[in-house]
Amino acid sequence: MIILKIPCNLGSLKESHVEEAPDKIVEATKEFFFSDGFEVEEVEVIKDNVSETQENIEKKVREIDGFFVALGGDHSITYPIVKGLRRPWLLFLDAHPDCQSSFYPVSYEDVVRGLVEHDLVKGVIMLGVRNWSQEEREFMRKHDLNVFTANEVFERGMKQVTDEVMGRLKGERFYVSIDIDVFDPAFAPGTGWIEPGGLSSRDVIYLLRKLKLLKGFVGMDVVEVDPRKDVNDMTIKLAARLLLESKS
């Protein structure tokens, strides 16, 4: 497995420090007992040049042979990664649907919208969303995106939701994107945007343990971790744990 560090903070909130996360997450993996056996690589991020940085990311992803986990960085990195993967299914874990009006280059606010509008994904499943605008709701409905809100996960239970997600992804190539704000802030306070009422660590670890049984799981990212907002490294540790859980 390859870990791809992408210390990018181009498409994100200016006062955030998400670019500091990849090194810290890799460092934290060393504290787990089962953490050996991966290669660490880094994508060159060019300051104030989103397009060139995104080209670097896409190029790097095309070169990778086998499963990888990308560590952001802000959520804009998911756009060039998925582009490099040639139309996979996207399983998107986020408190927000990231379908705001299209920007160019694609940012953390409209990454899913960009991918859908440019036909770079075969399908999208969203999980854990709990705050969206009217415009985003219309977009999601119009494009028939599969959505499991945080409330639905609570009502139906992660086990049943995972079964349904598995049913849709079986036989498909798929990529998983995890915005750390999908978790309840109680589990992951190190985020730029506190959004109460999210998923638990257990929920997502369970999901990953099932997903890695599927052959089509090609890669994953963990984005938007802000180490400076973290409490006692708990968010960094959770991100490291997710990375290790995805390993087949």
Does residue 103 sit in helix, strand or coil?
Answer: coil
Site map 177..206 versus Mn ion, x via CB under 5 A = --x---------------------------
Please say which residue, 39 or 238, places its beta carbon nearer to Mn ion: 238
Please say which residue, 133 or 160, places its beta carbon nearer to Mn ion: 133
- Sequence-ordered alpha helix ranges (H) in 38-98: 50-63, 78-84
Cα torsion 29, 221, 239, 242: sign: negative
Contact yes or no for 146/126 (Cβ under 8 A): yes
Q: List binders of Mn ion among 10-49 (CB under 5 A).
A: none
3-state DSSP: the chain helix, strand, coil percent, rounded to 5?
Answer: 40, 20, 40
State in angstroms the smallest separation of the CB of 92 from Mn ion.
8
Task: Identify the H or E element spanning 160.
Answer: helix 158-169
Nearest to 130 by CA among 196, 42, 75: 196
Window of 38-46, 69-77, 117-125, 184-192 that interacts with Mn ion by CB under 5 A: 69-77
Please say which residue, 136 or 179, places its beta carbon nearer to Mn ion: 179
Contact yes or no for 95/181 (Cβ under 8 A): yes
Site map 73..112 versus Mn ion, x via CB under 5 A = --x------------------x---x--------------
Q: List binders of Mn ion among 108-167 (CB under 5 A).
A: none
Please say which residue, 72 or 88, places its beta carbon nearer to Mn ion: 72
Burial 86-116, CB ≥16 within 10 A → b, else e:
eebbbbbbbbbbbbbeebebbbbbbbbbbbb
Window of 44-52, 59-67, 72-80, 240-248 that interacts with Mn ion by CB under 5 A: 72-80
- Helices 201-211 & 234-245, crossing angle to 10 degrees? 20
State in angstroms the smallest separation of the CB of 21 from Mn ion.
14
State in angstroms the smallest separation of the CB of 33 from Mn ion.
31
Please say which residue, 30 or 189, places its beta carbon nearer to Mn ion: 189
Q: List binders of Mn ion among 163-182 (CB under 5 A).
A: 179
State in angstroms the smallest separation of the CB of 191 from Mn ion.
10
Question: Contact residues for Mn ion (CB under 5 A)?
Answer: 75, 94, 98, 179
